[in-house]
Amino acid sequence: MANDGTGQTRRDVVKMTGAAGVAGIAGLTGCLSDGGGGGGGGNNGDYPALGNFPVQGDKVTFGFNVPQSGPYASEGKDELRAYKLAVKHLNNGGGWVDNWEDLSGDGILDKQVDYVTGDTGTDSDQARKQASRMISRDNVMMISGGSSSAVAIAVQGLCQQKKVMFMACLTHSNDTTGKDCERYGFREMFNAYMTGQALAPVVTKEYGKDLKFYQLYADYSWGKTQQASMKQFFEKEGWTQVNSVATPLGTKDYNSYLSEAANSGADALFLNHYGLDGANSLKGAIQAGLDQNMEIVMPLYNRPMAQAAGGAIEGIYGTVAWDSQIDNEPSNSFTKFFGQEYNGRVPSGPAQLAYAQTLQYAAAAERAGTFYPPEVIKQLEGHEYSNLGMEQETMRKCDHQAQRAVPVVKGLPKSEQKSGKYFEIVQITSRDKLGYECGQGPAAECDLGPYK
């Protein structure tokens, strides 16, 4: 159920926000009259107050804003597990923290890390409300979350206004680091454009070069850019789009949509749905026997979706954020310590993103020597790293989009599926074959906001 658990009226919220604003201004004045320093704000020595900076007290608070209800709830729950683990490791050591030279395992900049959580309900308005509460009441220095690009974009915009850092978790729309990019937002996840680049060569090689395809897509920011990118890259490989149809987020019964697709004369069907919607649409397609006459492609999928769709994912191509089968040191250790913490559970791609983004922020603050957001941002911009299990990466300065590899996977048959193992990794497309220049593709529309 989507609710913020407060039962307050709009008027109450407005009143509260007003009061919080007044308190904020009072705090600011106090801070300025104090000469803007005192060291208590995480080495804020020479930096003026900005957003929630300086940090008050001996704790720095993060806000984890994830869907705990709605169609992306399963993804959100796994993200939350990873966030909690990241905080634990930042405070007490363990996990990747032990191997990252920027991190001490004793909090960040001598402050212990605390966190608050929110349920976005996979709904932008609710997500903004939660983020707003985190910023004004809980004084968070950084918000992370996503699991819907509409949510991520809404929260990222708010964070820019309030000068609070946003470390995007799962958001795959081109717009997040394209036309809706923000100075205060950073994305580790790749986008729909890169999915198109990684998927089109593999799929067209497997199914042939001159197929006609039909697309169903979730009717919001992510689905729209996803649909556009599939069209762009598959048409480039010689395929032809017959039609594309938007479906509302949260649709349960895709049968009517699927019937239209089946009767369209297309040879391939793209299901640009995610989370529970993706599980339902794929399951519906297989039950209706669409896979007998058409090739089905699920451009973006993940472990909770595969689990909900069961045997329906057999032979279906797609891309995933990350998978526990990726065999390198950071990936293997993440799988291992996540499992130790959570009863043998295998982490999903969104969990890896959540953990990585929290540590990325912490490391940047340590490098900057302050929580002052513009300095942390500068540490992240252009940062080169290879410690997330996705080969060499760059957090690009011009659009805050990580330039990274993209795993292409194929669903396993039911008989070969095991706990946490649902795909076969077909290839990990390296970043050299992906991406676009600053000023091209989605980045052409990106205009990062001000630092202050």
Residue that is written with structure tokens 């220095």 in the block: 141
CB closer to another protein, 284 vs 318: 284
Q: Which is nearer to another protein, 283 or 410 (CB)?
A: 283
Q: Shortest gap between Cβ of 160 and another protein (angstroms)?
A: 31
**Cβ atoms 315, 410 nearer than 8 A:** yes
The answer to whether 43 and 369 have CB atoms below 8 angstroms apart is yes
Torsion sign over Cα 358, 362, 363, 368? positive
Closest to another protein by CB, 36 vs 310, is 310
| Tokens 């990684």 -> residue | 198
CB burial string 124-155: b at 16+ within 10 A, e below:
bebbbbbbbbbbbeebbbbbbbbbbbbbbbbb
Of 99 and 259, the one with the shorter C-beta distance to another protein is 259
- In the numeric block, the tokens 């089905």 are attached to 296
Toward another protein, which CB reaches closer, 102 or 123? 123
Q: Which residues bind another protein (CB under 8 A)?
A: 1, 68-69, 73-74, 77, 219, 245-248, 252-253, 255-257, 259-260, 262-263, 276, 279-280, 283-284, 287-290, 292-293, 304, 307-312, 343, 345, 419
Nearest one of 156, 73, 150, 83 to 114, comparing CA atoms: 83
Separation of alpha carbons 104 and 84, rounded Å: 17
Structure tokens of 262? Answer: 């089946």
Q: How far is the CB of 313 from another protein (least distance, A)?
A: 10
What is the distance between the alpha carbons of residues 97 and 89, in angstroms, rounded to a whole number?
6
What minimum distance in Å lies between the beta carbon of 343 and another protein?
Answer: 7
Tally of CB atoms within 10 A around 421 = 15
Choice between 33 and 343, CB closer to another protein: 343
What is the signed CA dihedral for 184, 189, 194, 198, rounded to 10 degrees?
A: 170
Minimum distance between the CB of residue 85 and another protein, rounded to whole angstroms?
A: 15
CB nearer another protein, residue 259 or residue 386: 259
Report in angstroms how near the CB of residue 277 gets to another protein at its nearest: 9
Cβ count near 415 (within 10 Å): 7
Q: How far is the CB of 346 from another protein (least distance, A)?
A: 9
Question: C-beta of 290: minimal distance to another protein in Å?
Answer: 8
